Amino acid sequence: VEKGNTVLIIEHQLDVIKSADWIIDLGPEGGDKGGYIVAEGTPKEVAKVAKSYTGQYLKKVMG
């Protein structure tokens, strides 16, 4: 990252997610009910997307 490279992380820990530069949230569920982009943006932007489960939890931990 410090050398300008891109790092792709698949993560469920909010401490890691909230420190990301950019999030692509897939869902809304798993399997046949998922795989769609529910939200995309910075952690603050994703936290504002009500239909994003990730956004709902980010909103709680980010205040």
Indicate the average pLDDT of the chain: 94
pLDDT at 1 over 80: no
Q: What pairing do the DSSP bridges indicate for beta strands 23-27 and 36-41?
A: antiparallel
Q: 31 CB contacts (<8 Å, ≥6 apart)?
A: none
The model's pLDDT over 10-39, given as tens digits with 9 standing for 90+, comes to 999 999 999 999 999 999 998 999 999 999
pLDDT value for 29: 92
- Does pLDDT of 63 surpass 90? no
Of residues 1 and 5, more confidence is placed in 5
Whether the Cβ atoms of residue 47 and residue 58 lie closer than 8 Å to each other = yes
CA atoms within 13 A on the CB side of 11: 14
Region 47-60: what's the mean pLDDT?
97
